Structure formats: C-alpha cells, structure tokens
Structure 1
Amino acid sequence: MFLFLSKLLPIFLYPLGLSCLLLLLAFILLWWKPRLAAIPIVLAVVLLLASSSAWASDWLVRSLEYQYVPQVNIPKADAIVVLGGATRPAVPPRPWVEVAEEGDRVLYAAKLFREGKAPRIILSGGRVNWAGNNDLPESADMAELIKTMGVPETALIQESTSRNTRENAVNSKKIMDAQGIRSILLVTSALHMPRSLRIFQKLGIETFPATTDFLSSDRETKELQNTAQDITLNSLPDAERLRNTTRALKEYVGIGIYWLRGWL
C-alpha cells in the first residue's frame, strides 16, 4: 500500500496534476461562485507557464544535479552498484530490451568496469507489475545490455526484488554483507544521486558517487540568456521542460518522504 500511495498522491503536487485540481475547482466554482472561478484558472495557467519555462526547469534540475558533479579521478571500490529505472522490457513490438533515458547508468557502469574501477557490478532493480505481468526483473534487462559491452557474466550480481530506491540500498547491502563487499561506486542519474547516496550512506555503506545522465550542462545554462531570441524562446512553455521540472520536484518530494521515515 505504501508503494501505491507513494506513487499516487504526489501526482497532485506536481504542476500538471495540481493544475488539473485547480481547473476542477474552477469548474465547481462556476456553479456556486462564478466570480471566484477566475482565481484557480489564473493560478493553473501561471503554474503551467512557470514550470514549463527553461528558467524554472533548469534551476530546479541544477539544484540537484550539481550536488555531485563527477570527479576527475574516480576512486576504486569493491563493486559498482547500478540502480534500476534504466530499461524497458522486451515486450512486443520491441525486438529486445531497450534503454530509457536513464540508460546512461548501464553504459557508465560498463565504462567504469572496463577502466578497472571495480571487479564486480551489482545490478539492482526489480519491476513493479500492477497488472501481474511476468516480465523479467530490470536487473535481468540491465544484465543483457551490459554483457554486450564486454562485461563478463561472472562479474555480474543481480538484485532483482527491489521496487524503490530504499529497497535498492537495503537489498544491495544484504548482497554486500554476504560477499564481503565493503565499498561501492554508486551509479545513478545526477537528478537521483542526492537521495540515493544518502540512503546508502545511512545504512553504513562506504559509498562513492559515480554520477551520470545529466539533464543540464554549463553550456546549455549559458545559452539561456545569450540573445534576445534565446530569452524569448526559453520563456515559452515546453513539454520537455515541464517533464524535467516534474522530475526534479519528484526527487524533492522523495527526499522529504524518505527523511520523514528516517531513511536519510
């Protein structure tokens, strides 16, 4: 039930869901107090315009992503832990496992392994199947992908039951304790790293961030205000920016919930 509610309730805190609630309120007010209906409509429009602009989106994303910018010299560790959320299952019409936008996690883990940063890789991720499908866990999908990049199967350890970031850490720690793994390179998206790193460290795991999958960059931020044309275009609503704003807010909500539960 916690898993379901943790995914359902925050939807109405994000720009699109909250705007829908405001418009629903406006519809109700049209019947009871028409003069007040304009207030939630204006709020919904302002919320959508602000959250889908480059200014708000870039600021929120950078506030998370730039907390753990990759080091020039990444230290060696006993293992690399790759968090799930990076693949889509091989169901028709897909011919094979496919990568999501977060697929950089798998690519970067393979790169670190081939550079000799750690001798083992823990692929952590189950799959939430609300409809009861028998899809393979995401750890298996990641294993299929990473083997094509030259990582031997003998170096892979699958953690296939976790459904959220907290379970990623708890279940990975059980594997680490059983195999004498004491330090890890944690590979996940830059937006997800602040919450993930604190969860692993809270469990007493010696964890080094290996951040990848950046949505923002220094060059793109500078381009926000280069010319009058840039300023105009970046102020206009854009669906991708709305998505990025929502993803950043999702992380902040997650940080808040995990902090309240004592997981951070």
Structure 2
Amino acid sequence: MGEEGEEEMKRWLRRAEWLLLAWVLGHVTYTCIDGLRPYRGNADIAVVLGNRVEPDTTLSPVLKARVDKALELYRNGRVPRIMVSGGNGHTTKPGRVPEGMAMKRYLVAHGVPADRVIEDNDGENTYLTAKDLLPVADSLHLHSAIAVSSFYHLTRTKYIIRKLGFHNVHSVASNGFFAGDDLFGLLRDCVAFYKYMLVY
C-alpha cells in the first residue's frame, strides 16, 4: 500500500471513530432521557430487576434502591403486586440466597403481604425476566406493568418485554445513583441493547 493509500485508510478510520463516538453519545443521551423520565400512572404490577445480594443476604445498595422504589409504588397505591426477578447468584455457597428471595423477604419485612409479591429466581438476565413475566401476566390477567430498575437499564428492559409480546409496559427508575455502576451500566447497555435486537 502506497503513502496515498495509507493516508486514505487513516481518514476512513478517523471517520469510523467519530461515527462510533456519535453513536455512543446518542445512545447514552437517549437512554438517560428515557430512563430518568418517570411514568406517573398506575399499573397492574411492578417488575423489579435483580442485582447483587450481599453474602449476609441483605440487598446491595443498587438492589435496595430498586426495591425501595417498587415499595414506594405499592404504598402509594400505584401497583397492587410486585414481581421481584433475579438470578440464583452464588447460592451454592452456604447461607447465600437467590436475588428474588432476598427481595421478597425485604418487601415482606417492610409490610407488603407475601401474597402480593411474586418471586422469580430464574431471571438470570433481562431477557429471562421478561420471559418469566409472560406466564405471570397470563395467569393473573395482568394488562400493564411498570419496570423498576436503575435508569440506564430501563430502555433495554422495556424493549425486550415489548418484543416478547407484553406491550403495555412503562418504567420508573430507582432513586439510587452510583457513579461507577451507572457509568459502567450506560456503556454496557450501549452494546447489550443491540445484542438484544439481534439475538432475542
């Protein structure tokens, strides 16, 4: 390749880098606006997306903020039921509990009747949580839902729930903000959203 060809290649690489940067910034901006714009209506159920449970079975700060937001929705009469969905995590270790179980325990301890909380411990990822919502919605005749998670996670959550056929889904972000987790989550969802478009 001659000198002229190398220069042309460099120009194309620079253009590709700028296009990639513009795509990332555009996606991050939309994700922030969408995730931080709360739904103010009611729904048949709140669906809480899981996160880490501590070794002593308490909720991590990120997860506690999500569950507290669902608790707020329930106490304000905006949802009559809460579905808590997460993975099994490190439950092979003594004393550890699945995310769904830990979330349900927390809600019951804070006054939500056990029969108002649907526990799902098979929600290892967002797709599986969305998939697990469908039979719950069918059996309980649910027609609307509010997804509850960190703000950066809500665009992808609503997308996959709707893609699987449950269209009347809205979102409310937790009140917890964690600089490192949020930045990582925003960047991760730039990739994960398009993975969900192509794979599921």
TM-score (norm 2): 0.76
Alignment of 1:36-47 (within 5 A): none
Alignment of 1:1-264 (within 5 A): 62-71=29-38, 74-85=40-51, 87-89=52-54, 91=55, 94=56, 96-129=57-90, 132-133=92-93, 135-205=96-166, 206-213=168-175, 215=177, 244-261=182-199, 263=200
Deviations 1:137-191 (A, max 9, x none): 1011001112232211121111111210000000111111122112111111101
Q: CA offset at residue 63 of structure 1?
A: 4.5
CA RMSD of aligned residues (A): 2.6
Cα separation, 1, equivalents of 2:49 and 2:182:
20
Contact 1:191 1:214 in 2 (8 A): no
Aligned residues: 174
Q: CA offset at residue 213 of structure 1?
A: 4.0
Equivalent residue of 2:65, what SS?
A: helix
Instruction: Write the letter of the residue equivalent to 1:133.
Output: K
Distance change >3 Å, CA 145–CA 106, structure 1 → 2:
same
TM-score (norm 1): 0.59
Instruction: Write the letter of the residue equivalent to 1:255.
Output: F
Contact 1:122 1:158 in 2 (8 A): yes
Deviations 1:202-228 (A, max 9, x none): 122110112224649xxxxxxxxxxxx
Distance change >3 Å, CA 174–CA 98, structure 1 → 2:
same
Question: Which residue of structure 2 aligns with residue 49 of structure 1?
Answer: none
Cα separation, 2, equivalents of 1:195 and 1:257:
10
Cα separation, 2, equivalents of 1:113 and 1:65:
25
Contact 1:76 1:118 in 2 (8 A): yes
Contact 1:79 1:119 in 2 (8 A): yes
Distance change >3 Å, CA 110–CA 214, structure 1 → 2:
closer
Contact 1:190 1:214 in 2 (8 A): no
Percent identity reads 25
Flag structure 2 segments of 5+ consecutive residues without an equivalent.
Answer: 1-24
Question: Which residue of structure 2 aligns with residue 4 of structure 1?
Answer: none
Flag structure 1 segments of 5+ consecutive residues without an equivalent.
Answer: 1-57, 217-239
Contact 1:200 1:207 in 2 (8 A): yes
Deviations 1:19-61 (A, max 9, x none): xxxxxxxxxxxxxxxxxxxxxxxxxxxxxxxxxxxxxxx9986
Distance change >3 Å, CA 201–CA 60, structure 1 → 2:
closer
Q: CA offset at residue 247 of structure 1?
A: 2.4
Cα separation, 2, equivalents of 1:83 and 1:194:
13
Cα separation, 2, equivalents of 1:213 and 1:59:
24
